[in-house]
Amino acid sequence: MSDSETGLSAEAARFVSPAHYVDSDSMEVQSFVVAALRNMSPDVSKKDKAIRLFEAVRDGIRYDPYTFALNADAYRASMIASTESAFCVPKAILLAACLRAVGIPAALGFADVKNHLNTPKLAELMGTDLFIYHGYVQLWLEGEVYKVTPAFNMELCQRFGVKPLVFDGENDALFHEFDEQDQRHMEYVNDRGLFVDAPMEEFLQAFHETYPKLEEFNRNRIAACGAAGFDADFAKPKEGAAQ
């Protein structure tokens, strides 16, 4: 079927098929999509599916910047679909795969951002307020183009006083520009472009060179806690615990 027959632009058509990391045809991604869309009408619009999938990735997988994997295959959407926590890049990969699984073109986007609201521990380990390769998704929906990032789950935003990103199918959901007190939060300083699949070799090398202390911390965490370990700064607080 040609691009004109599907109604897709040549650009959008590049971002429909499965890829190695965006493995939208995998059983794990398909199962995640089915669970996210359960109780929706069979004839529901793609817009409503996109909104539901965005929310499922945003809130179903807790954001935790300390859980970045050190091996490339851990960044396949089929692996991410069963994780409890992840940071922006895996969550963007999973969302792109889920959208492609229901026929919505979705590209992976990466940008360098400055985070003006950072925890002291993470800032010390990073040695900078610059987050390289922040992950987002660009999707094509009903003739329009949107950019969204499902990184910060709703519960985390409430805890940190950050305005949550909400995708309504009509506007981008990309910029955590200000917190609830209107203080600057996140600033995009360099867009690295759109990708059909995750450039994992380049990405992991850049992280290795930019955040050596954070990488060492993560290796020690994995050795002590396993790959599914998490940091208390970003975990759900225990009932009755001080926040």
- Per residue in 191-233, pLDDT (tens digit) is 999 999 999 999 999 999 998 998 888 888 777 765 554 454 5
Is there a domain that residue 76 lies in?
Answer: yes
Is there a domain that residue 167 lies in?
Answer: yes
Q: Are 84 and 162 spatial neighbours (Cβ–Cβ below 8 Å)? A: no
Is there a domain that residue 58 lies in?
Answer: yes
Is there a domain that residue 234 lies in?
Answer: no
Local structure of 20: helix, strand or coil: coil
Local structure of 173: helix, strand or coil: strand
* pLDDT for 116: 57
Q: Which residues of the chain have pLDDT under 70?
A: 1-7, 116-117, 176-185, 225-243
What's the domain range around 181? 3-225
* pLDDT for 220: 82
What sign has the CA pseudo-torsion 145, 166, 53, 96? positive
Kindly report the CATH number assigned to the domain that includes residue 219: 3.10.620.30
Is there a domain that residue 25 lies in?
Answer: yes
CA atoms within 13 A on the CB side of 21: 23
Q: How many domains does the chain have?
A: 1
Is there a domain that residue 233 lies in?
Answer: no
Q: In which element (H, E) is residue 4 found?
A: helix 3-6
